[in-house]
Amino acid sequence: MRILVLGSGAREHAIVTALLREQAGHDITVAPGNGGIAADVPVIALDPTNPTLVTEFALDNDIELVVIGPEAPLVAGVADKLRQRGIAVFGPGKAAAALEGSKTFAKRIMDEAGVPTGRAVRAATLEEAVVAIDEFGAPYVVKADGLAAGKGVLVTADREAAMAHASYWLSQGSVLVEEFLEGQEVSLFLLSDGHTVLPLSPAQDYKRLADDDEGPNTGGMGAYSPLPWLPSGFVDEVIDTVALPTVRQLAEEQAPFIGLLYCGLILTDKGIRVIEFNARFGDPETQVVLPRLVTPLSGLLFAAATGELGGQPRPEFSDDVAVTVVLASEGYPDTPVTGREIVGLDTALAIHGVSVAHAATAVSAGRLIATGGRVLSVVATAPDFTEARSRVYRALEAIDLEGGQFRTDIAARVAL
Ligand code: AMP
Ligand code: GLY
């Protein structure tokens, strides 16, 4: 199949790796990609958020499937334009992508569909925010309403900090003040063709920068899959109470969700609650979910894109487990230092079960250079979590990036 993948992160590298693993001889192009992706498949310098440019490229190159990685092209309406021209695309249109792009929209959809989520109040002024902050009490949860690149959510016991966060994001738009939910977090990805959903294997993401969940929220510092501690029936319950009602509600509102419904969930003692939806594969969870996928990815994405998921069996996963640890630049997430050389990848890749998804790299004068905050996603698969952790951390020891930071406790709690 001739496939165009949009995006430039480790998630897109993991998608490309899964497509290449099929050995179906897919013809894959990535726009714009990164240094690591470019070593595997052709990349083109094309703005993935420009609907016209992407559609022209797809038409000129007889692309049979476009896979949209990040949220920005979705919110920019790239999928709509491609669909108008009859091109199969995995990724929702602008209207359904608002599930991620607007927390107010997501809350309304959940309300209408009866999906369990935390109580929340939308505030347009600081006065409204303060009333809500005091009504809910500590710990305080304050969220930017629009896309905020992982920086929009603050969970804090400090009332002043909650108000400062509200004040900052109110200057960009509105905020949501939410009830604090306590419990284990789960990321569950579901493929959707607008009507039917098929679940992938659950994963857990580590959002805080430092060990023991200290430090600021980030885009994600590591992940593992599967989650051996999940109650049986969990996935079916999410399908019945969260995913299908949401997809049906969107279909009813003429905003069909065709793509990846990312359910960010908390398992509270009162049951499952949605903390967020995303309209795309999660990063870094994709780096641990796709290496375990046995069913060919291209067939699943194409079936979703063409409304053919109904009647398909659930995707199959290997019994192996997967752990990923993100290597980030010094100064991430606030002011990442870029331009530093990365060495030792060959030694890391020689370790059995280890692969590396590139997030922000480029090749300059024959050297691999870090170009952003999250630089690499080092992945290990193994029969159990103890071995997977041993492999992934040996690989990280072999990789040298001056000032590089990574968490040392990814999947520690399941590797006992
Ligand atoms: P989000 O960007 O909505 O996923 O939020 C980022 C992180 O903030 C989540 O992964 C949670 O760890 C935390 N969080 C978000 N909403 C809540 C909530 N209502 N209660 C507790 N923690 C939350
Ligand atoms: N891992 C969190 C996200 O992709 O939004």
Mean pLDDT, the chain, rounded, equals 95
Separation of CA 282 and ligand 2 centre (Å): 4
Separation of CA 266 and ligand 2 centre (Å): 14
pLDDT tens readout for residues 208-228? 999 999 998 899 999 999 999
Place of tokens 């693993």: 21
- Per-residue HEC secondary structure of 9-26 comes to CHHHHHHHHHHHHCCCCC
Lowest-confidence pick of 29-43, 119-133, 362-376:
119-133
Separation of CA 302 and ligand 2 centre (Å): 23
Check if 205 has its Cβ closer than 6 Å to any atom of ligand 2: yes
- pLDDT for 147: 72
Closest atom, ligand 2, to C-alpha of 282: 4
- Per-residue HEC secondary structure of 244-306 comes to HHHHHHHHHCCCCCEEEEEEEEEEECCEEEEEEEECCCCCCCHHHHHHHECCCHHHHHHHHHC
Separation of CA 61 and ligand 2 centre (Å): 31
- pLDDT for 346: 97
Q: Is the dihedral of CA 275, 70, 190, 18 positive or negative?
A: negative
User: How does DSSP assign 297-361, residue by residue?
Assistant: HHHHHHHHHTT--TTPPPPPB-S-EEEEEEEE-TTTTTS-----BEE-HHHHHTSTTEEEEESSE
> Which amino acid is present at 18?
A
Whose alpha carbon is nearest atom 4 of ligand 1? 276
Mean pLDDT for 166-186 is 92
Q: List the strands of the sheet with 184-193, edge to edge.
A: 197-199, 184-193, 258-268, 271-278
Check if 46 has its Cβ closer than 6 Å to any atom of ligand 1: no
Check if 12 has its Cβ closer than 6 Å to any atom of ligand 2: no
Rg (CA), the chain: 20
> Which amino acid is present at 237?
E
Closest atom, ligand 2, to C-alpha of 205: 1
Structure tokens at 33: 């990609």
- pLDDT for 149: 67
pTM over 0.75: yes
Q: Is the bond leading into 32 cis (omega within 30 degrees of zero)? A: yes
Separation of CA 133 and ligand 1 centre (Å): 16
Choose one of 200, 205, 276, 281 to mutate for the ligand 2 pocket test, by most ligand atoms within 8 angstroms of C-beta: 205
pLDDT tens readout for residues 379-408? 999 999 999 999 999 999 999 999 999 999
Q: Which of 137, 169, 170 is nearest to 156 (CA)?
A: 137
Which ligand is closest in space to the CA of residue 260?
Answer: 2
Separation of CA 276 and ligand 2 centre (Å): 10
Pairing of strands 374-382, 354-358: antiparallel
Separation of CA 226 and ligand 1 centre (Å): 21
- pLDDT for 172: 84
Q: Which of 208, 123, 134, 136 is nearest to 166 (CA)?
A: 123
pLDDT tens readout for residues 66-120? 999 999 999 999 999 999 999 999 999 999 999 998 888 999 999 999 999 999 9
pLDDT tens readout for residues 329-375? 999 999 999 999 999 999 999 999 999 999 999 999 999 999 999 99
Choose one of 278, 290, 326 to mutate for the ligand 2 pocket test, by most ligand atoms within 8 angstroms of C-beta: 278
Q: Which of 187, 264, 199, 260 is nearest to 227 (CA)?
A: 187
Check if 285 has its Cβ closer than 6 Å to any atom of ligand 1: no
- pLDDT for 150: 62
- pLDDT for 256: 97
Q: Which of 92, 267, 94, 93 is nearest to 185 (CA)?
A: 267
For the chain, give the percent of residues with pLDDT over 90: 89
